[in-house]
Chain A
């Protein structure tokens, strides 16, 4: 199985993000702390087939967000993102 096949779009982790944040996160715009590129989270590269979920910048491959889930706990490291932009009005 080609490793290229393991890379998905952020959209594939949409359910997980919904569960954590209680809101649709794929349309939130994230700035890569490494290269400055801004993209909707649904457009980030996501690796789901790992001990955790890893979001990477499609441009520079930097790790943006990591999520690990245990039975009743969850760890989230958003430190690769330097800022998030959300829409608040209709």
Chain B
């Protein structure tokens, strides 16, 4: 092992709990990770769309989106950079609500965001109560630094799948890698099987 630095422990809590997936450390703060500048789309022009094969299947303006039934969700989240945060409280619209009434043979979705970020997921991992488009965190509107006005929230997978500044879902028949998945990150990303990178 590399030279151990006398007295250094780092910020994390070394108590292992069965809520922390392998290779992760618990954090009490909420690190901000970003691959680019924070977008600032005005709410008047913000829309969320569901599309398939280049065709729009559904669209909401911000006001329409706010009028959808929303719920409070408390979940543990796990970032591939090794920090986990327990009991995070969000407010959001279930993706089931957004997909309601949309018939499709697609098995995958590509979530896409302002600023160009994309991430791919199996459709069954964003349905049946497993995913939300979140617009609130900790009883406040979601901060731009954390993905506001709205981000995807898919807590059972590594947090890079919870695309910040999300603007839509593209339904796909075949799986396609998104921004990080095309550069080494695992296509699926299950923190409990430590699926961080290709081949894990």
Interface residues of A (CB under 8 A from B): 1-4, 6-7, 47, 49-52, 54, 56, 61, 63, 66, 68, 70, 73-75, 77
Contacts and interface: CB of A to CB of B under 8 A. Distances in A.
A68 B185 contact: yes
B4 interface: no
28 contacts: A1-B145, A2-B145, A3-B32, A3-B34, A3-B144, A4-B37, A6-B32, A7-B37, A49-B31, A49-B33, A50-B34, A51-B35, A51-B81, A51-B160, A51-B180, A54-B35, A54-B36, A56-B37, A63-B36, A63-B116, A66-B183, A68-B183, A68-B197, A70-B197, A73-B197, A74-B184, A75-B183, A75-B184
B34 A49 contact: yes
B170 interface: no
Contacts of A52: 35, 180, 183-184
Given A51-B80, A63-B36, A77-B183, 10 more contacts: A47-B35, A49-B33, A50-B34, A51-B33, A51-B79, A51-B81, A61-B36, A61-B37, A73-B184, A73-B197
What are the nearest 3 A-B pairs in CB distance? A75-B184, A3-B38, A68-B184
B109 to A, nearest CB: 20
Given A51-B81, A63-B116, A3 B37 contact: yes
B35 to A, nearest CB: 4
A3 B145 contact: yes
A74 to B, nearest CB: 8
Contacts of A47: 34-36
The SS class assigned to the A binding surface is mixed
B196 interface: yes
A75 B35 CA distance: 16
Contacts of B196: 70
Interface in B57-92: 79-81
A77 B36 CA distance: 16
B116 to A, nearest CB: 7
A2 B107 CA distance: 37
Contacts of B38: 3-4
